[in-house]
Amino acid sequence: MAARRSTMAGLERGIWRGIDVFRLLALCYAASMVWIHRDTMTRPWVAWLVLVVLAAWSCWLATRQARSAGALGADLALACGAILATIAVHPPELIAGGSTTIPSMYAAAPVAAWAVSWGLRGALVSAGVVTVANLVEVGQPTGATIYNTLLLVVVAACLGLCMDLGRRSQAALDEGLRLQAEAAERERIARVVHDGVLQTLALIHRRGAQAGGEAAALGALAAASERDLRSLVTAARPRERPGTVTSIDVRAALMALAGPGVEVVAPAEAVPLPSRRGQELVAAVGALLDNVARHAGPGARAWVLLDDLGPAIEVTVRDDGCGIPPGRLEEAERDGRLGVASSVRGRLRDLGGEATVRSTMGRGTTVRLCLPTQEE
């Protein structure tokens, strides 16, 4: 991310250098215009003095690493002052005829500087100030005045808009990289927890159940801790900026749920889903696995199968436990008791997906979750 910011800062430095070079070239052009029209000027020394001041100012600016608001304000004021100084140099009839101002093209430099610093708003404000100075200088606008004004406004607006878009794109890229780094860190922590703590708790649960007595109570406590920790890892959600849509790798999230008694089969490649949809799907699978641990009976195993169907994602959770008695789910819904299977159905339904449950007493339960990859 630091490299990306450095790239943007380097680009801005390049633009500033370009503006500095433009200042010097514009001053050379302005000096040639003063030399050519020196015989028609009433006070040519004023024109030369103005150009010397602008040249000294430009050289000072070129040595500055940062352009402060005060420096940019003074830059614009000097350009407008140079334009108004034309009144003291050219006769009124030449000014009315559309003669070139003393700074000529140089007046575009501070406008470009404002556009780089403050985007479209700065470009329009500075172009408006220069336009007012030009109108005061010429008195009655000529065709050349109108043309030059429109050209200045359009070019400044384009530059300011480009700077705004560039900064927004850079900010969005930085935010995306931040979220990606957070997701990678969460997956790393999930793998560490899975390979260490979860397996240890599962082992304590099994050994406690085998030993019986007080050890069985300790094993039950370990099983509860395992479920809570697994739910915490599964339900961890990234922070998202409003208006942004990020994605998570469902495959990696489901693989983190594997452990003793839980086998996950998934494609070799990543299976991305928009964050909210992916998180809800993984949370639903986690809830089903918790249900297996709680109700499928001792020693029950579970299998999770992930299929990427293109427009939809399908996850099948199957166990070899005791199964669900016929009519139990319907009875729970009638009594207002929302079991895990029913809550998973509602969760998938809210996202435009579906959950189907098939169970046979003594032969386990199979739950199929199907979720479209995008909202309809």
pLDDT digits (tens, 9 = 90+) for 33-45: 999 988 888 999 9
Q: Residue 169 has which token pair? A: 């794109």
pLDDT at 235: 56
Q: Residue 66 has which token pair? A: 């940062």
Q: How much of the chain exceeds pLDDT 90, in percent? A: 28
pTM of the model: 0.55
- Number of helices (H), then strands (E), in the chain: 12, 7
Amino acid identity for residue 271 in this structure: V
What is the chain's length? 376
**DSSP notation for 249-280:** EHHHHHHTT-BTTEEEE--SS--EEEHHHHHH
Smallest CA-to-CA distance from 308 within 349, 347, 266 is with 266
Q: Residue 239 has which token pair? A: 């922070």
pLDDT at 26: 93
Contact 369, 353 (CB under 8 A): yes
Q: Residue 48 has which token pair? A: 């030369």
Contact 47, 34 (CB under 8 A): yes
Confidence tier at 140 by pLDDT (50, 70, 90): confident
Architecture of domain 245-376: 2-Layer Sandwich (3.30)
Q: Which residues sit opposite 247 in a β-bridge?
A: 274
Confidence tier at 141 by pLDDT (50, 70, 90): confident
Contact 288, 317 (CB under 8 A): yes
Burial 167-202 (b: 16+ CB within 10 A, else e): eeebeeeebeeebeeebeebbeebeebbeeebeebb
* Beta strands at 272-274 and 247-249: parallel, antiparallel or unpaired: antiparallel
Exposed (0-12), middle (13-18) or buried (19+): which is 106, by Cβ within 10 Å? buried
Contact 302, 261 (CB under 8 A): yes
Residue 178 has pLDDT above 90, yes or no: no
Contact 115, 163 (CB under 8 A): yes
Exposed (0-12), middle (13-18) or buried (19+): which is 212, by Cβ within 10 Å? exposed
Q: Enumerate the domain spans of the chain.
A: 2-173, 245-376
pLDDT at 286: 84
DSSP-derived letter for residue 100 is P
